[in-house]
Structure 1
Amino acid sequence: MNFYKSKPWKIKREKILRHDQYECRNCKRYGRNRIANTVHHCNPLLEYPELRLESWNLISLCGVCHGKMHDRENDVLTELGKFWREKVTPPSY
């Protein structure tokens, strides 16, 4: 089954979008307000499947910013994608 069609993902995706008030977190860094319609895994899903539903690893993005996070041909993180991967950290208990 495709993870992105699963019920746990759909619930988590909606929770993250609501938490970020449907605003693109990357655009917000520059004072722009764009509607977020995508939830991005800062630590890529294929490399870190165990983090797939961790809220701290997920950010809301607009389509333009999401396209800038990783190369669509080889799925390698761009510099911007690496920035966000470094920016998010798991909570310390």
Structure 2
Amino acid sequence: MPEYKTKEQKVKFYKSDKWQALRQQALERDNYECQECKRQGRVYTDYHNPDKHKRLDVDHIKEIETHPELALELDNLQVLCVWHHNVKHERFAKKENKWNDEKW
């Protein structure tokens, strides 16, 4: 079973033809809509987006680092907007308050 622990292993996986085909299947299945936005009653779509940067990611529900056997399982994928994907993976830096005074 392949491992996806190093950056090189992940890059190779995400550039593979198998992943690209499966990613497209997930986008089509989820109608090019962020599934988390949908759960919250909003619609966020990316179908035929003319922008240079993608707005949707295909996310592994169970991460490939810990569940490599599910890396190519369509049922383990969900489409998320870049915002929700970053929230899921806690990619936003937390800003510290530089002021240490009390509020009035």
Structure 1: which 4+ aligned runs deviate by more than 3 Å? none
| Separation in structure 1 between the aligned mates of residue 66 and residue 40 of structure 2, nearest angstrom | 29
After superposition, where does 1:4-83 map in structure 2 within 5 Å? 4-35=14-45, 37-72=56-91
TM-score after normalising by structure 1: 0.73
Question: Please, what TM-score do these two structures have when normalized by structure 2?
Answer: 0.65
Distance in structure 1 (CA, Å) of the matches to 2:78 and 2:40 = 16
CA RMSD of aligned residues (A): 1.6
Structure 1: give runs of 5+ residues left out of the alignment: 74-93
Q: Once the 2 structures are TM-superposed, how far is the Cα of residue 72 of structure 1 from its aligned partner?
A: 3.6
Higher relative helix content: 1
Amino acid at match of 1:23: E
Number of positions where the alignment pairs a residue of Structure 1 with one of Structure 2: 73
Give identity over the alignment, percent.
41
Deviations for 1:12-41, whole angstroms, at most 9, x for unmatched residues? 000000000000000001111112521000
Distance 1:38 1:32 in 2: 17
